Amino acid sequence: MNSLVLMVVGLAMVLAGYFLYSKFLARHIYRLDENFRTPSHEMRDGVDYVPTNKFVLWGHHFTSVAGAAPIVGPAVAVIWGWLPAFLWVTLGTVFFAGMHDLGALWASVRNKGRSMGMLSGRYIGSRGRALFLVVIFLLLLMVIAAFATVIKNLLISTPTSVIPVWGAIAVAAIIGQMIYRWKINLPVTTLIGVTALYGLILLGDRFPVVLPDSVLGMSPATFWIVALFLYAGIASLLPVWVLLQPRDYINGVQLFIGLGILYLSVLLASPAVVAPAVNQNVPEGTPSMVPLLFVTIACGAISGFHGMVASGTSAKQLDKETDARFVGYFGAVGEGLLALGAIIAATAGFRTLADWEAVYSAFNEGGVSAFIDGGASIVNTGLGIPVSLSATILATMAVLFAATTMDTGVRLQRFVVQEAGEVMGVTVRKGLATIVVLVVAVGLTFSAGGDGAGGLLIWPLFGTTNQLLASLTLSIVAVMLLRRKRNPVVVLVPLVFVLAMSVYALIVQLGTFYADQNWFLLGLDVVILVASAWVAVEATAAMVAARRGEFDPETDEPVAAGQSAGTTATTRDS
């Protein structure tokens, strides 16, 4: 198989999804209304609620949901062969991820920018809300702690990425001022930002930064983790336009340039895919492809974390409701393109099948390193860019996305803590909420020593927890559609499939944890399984009630006996 065929077919599928299927969803399922007053205008505060240019917001949304996951998942999952990973990424992007992300964004915008956790209280019930918040808290904790560890490892293993990664913060801060204070037009701002960022990449490749054995009394690993958490905490408290938005936007542009370089290299070099289409000779100990494929590849096919970003930050910044199609669905398309690039790099970036099998000698042996090394080889062959510089570009891309996801995750977790306080009748200020988030995340990260290995302690449960959260988010969207008398089939089919695969995977992992006598993960697995099952039962009951009950088709508010549909909307609007 030639990698060029994979690239062309994959690009055609996901782009057709955006230009065709997303229009159907926007017009006939979600019925996006350009005149609807979005939360960014209704609740504008200049900190979290800020009307934002859709291109800038797309950059924030896309890079926040991307992280390292759409690279890691596909680059690990190709151990079962390139075909299953390719099909799940392309079909998942079109029919699962795009619909899910757009739906989560629409649902939140229609409810004053509230998160999925809070929406579960309205559409599923108070018990469902409490359990939903537990699942969300655990998922975000996994993301924050694990990504801190992943970034730390990349900063140490690829010292050429240090300067561009930290220098990007200064670039982003200046871009924020250029957009909002100095009112410089976006194309000029983008050109300056991208030029500065790639200048930093060249500088980093020339001057790699290797820390000494002790920095302020800390090992390099400990120092990088502490620095990352301090940055994430500060970034989560700043107004979104100061750092979060511009950082994510310029990273989004930089990613598409990086993907352009990779795809152009594939076009010019046309390397052969050396990995088998379906691997019949998987290493000993590799779990079954079904159901593990569908939780190993989350971001890039469908991911519950996307719903948290859509309802946590993006919905608060959406200028017009119709922008949700570009921000939400095309954000998922960007993830699909990144996942597709990871599949190509991890299967065509090796000279022979034996070289590929040497890397994929055990499950979880692929990942970011396979993407960077394989991608660098393809770029070197196609465009003649030195392997070292190619690796720096790809490593910087991976680190920057992991970092944007981490700081967005801290902000989202802060919202969760504040919302949990709201449920309990306690007002938790954002400063205190951020401290709580950092203390818990840092504690987990360093629970297994100063190298941050604790950050990956509960990571084995990320895939299943993430996909369960996606199915629970879809259940909220389904209830909203049923209340509004719209066809929920496009939501229900992915919901049932993802829920079934996630529960199946959780049960499989229970056996693995029991065999390994890992009682901590076994107990956590049981908690997540029970909480998710409970919410699923409550959600099913809510769907039945929505189908049978009387609700205003425009606002999904209950219609009292003797009251005609439409009266609720008129009363509330007045």
Closest C-alpha among 163, 154, 150 to residue 205: 163
- Contact predicate 287/508, CB 8 Å: yes
Rounded Cα distance between 220 and 233, Å, is 20
Buried b (16+ CB within 10 A) or exposed e, 127-166: ebbbbbbbbbbbbbbbbbbbbbbbbbbbbbebbbbbbbbb
Paired tokens of 334: 């960007």
Angle, CA of 344, 346 and 348, to the nearest 5° = 55
Rounded Cα distance between 75 and 84, Å, is 12
Contacts (Cβ under 8 Å, ≥6 apart) of 163? 200, 203, 204, 207, 209
Residue with tokens 């009363």: 571
Rounded Cα distance between 548 and 552, Å, is 13
3-state secondary structure of 90: helix
The mean pLDDT of the chain is 89
In the chain, how many domains are there? 1
Amino acid at site 368: V
Rounded Cα distance between 402 and 153, Å, is 12
- The string of DSSP letters for 340-373 reads HHHHHHHHHSSSSHHHHHHHTSSTT--SHHHHHH
Q: With the C-alpha atoms ordered 113, 119, 123, 126, is the resulting torsion angle positive or negative? A: negative
Query: What pLDDT does 77 receive?
Result: 93
Residue with tokens 């229009």: 23
Residue with tokens 């905490």: 233
Rounded Cα distance between 501 and 136, Å, is 19
Q: How many CB atoms lie within 10 A of CB 430?
A: 16
Closest C-alpha among 381, 343, 423 to residue 121: 423
Rounded Cα distance between 451 and 31, Å, is 49
User: Rounded to 5, what percent of the chain is helix, strand, coil?
Assistant: 75, 0, 25
End-to-end CA gap in the chain: 62
Q: Phi then psi for 462, rounded to 5 degrees?
A: -60, -50
Rounded Cα distance between 83 and 504, Å, is 22
Contacts (Cβ under 8 Å, ≥6 apart) of 287? 363, 508, 512
Query: What pLDDT does 124 receive?
Result: 86
- Contact predicate 501/295, CB 8 Å: yes
Burial bucket for residue 272 (CB in 10 Å: 0-12, 13-18, 19+)? middle
CA distances from 418 to 187, 422, 429, 453 (A): 37, 6, 7, 28
Paired tokens of 142: 């996994």
Q: Phi then psi for 51, rounded to 5 degrees?
A: -60, 130
Rounded Cα distance between 468 and 505, Å, is 10
Q: How many CB atoms lie within 10 A of CB 480?
A: 24
Query: What pLDDT does 561 receive?
Result: 52
Average pLDDT for runs of 10 along the chain of length 574: 93 96 97 96 92 92 81 91 97 96 96 89 81 82 87 87 90 92 92 92 91 92 94 90 87 84 93 94 90 91 92 93 97 93 93 91 79 89 89 80 83 88 86 93 88 82 88 94 94 95 91 90 88 85 90 81 48 33
Report the CATH number at residue 33: 1.20.1740.10
Residue with tokens 């660098």: 376
Q: How many CB atoms lie within 10 A of CB 225?
A: 25
Range of the domain at 414: 3-573
- Contact predicate 203/170, CB 8 Å: no
**DSSP for residue 429:** -
Query: What pLDDT does 415 receive?
Result: 87
Burial bucket for residue 487 (CB in 10 Å: 0-12, 13-18, 19+)? exposed
Rounded Cα distance between 195 and 462, Å, is 36
Paired tokens of 100: 């899910």
Rounded Cα distance between 318 and 329, Å, is 14
Closest C-alpha among 3, 10, 9 to residue 272: 3
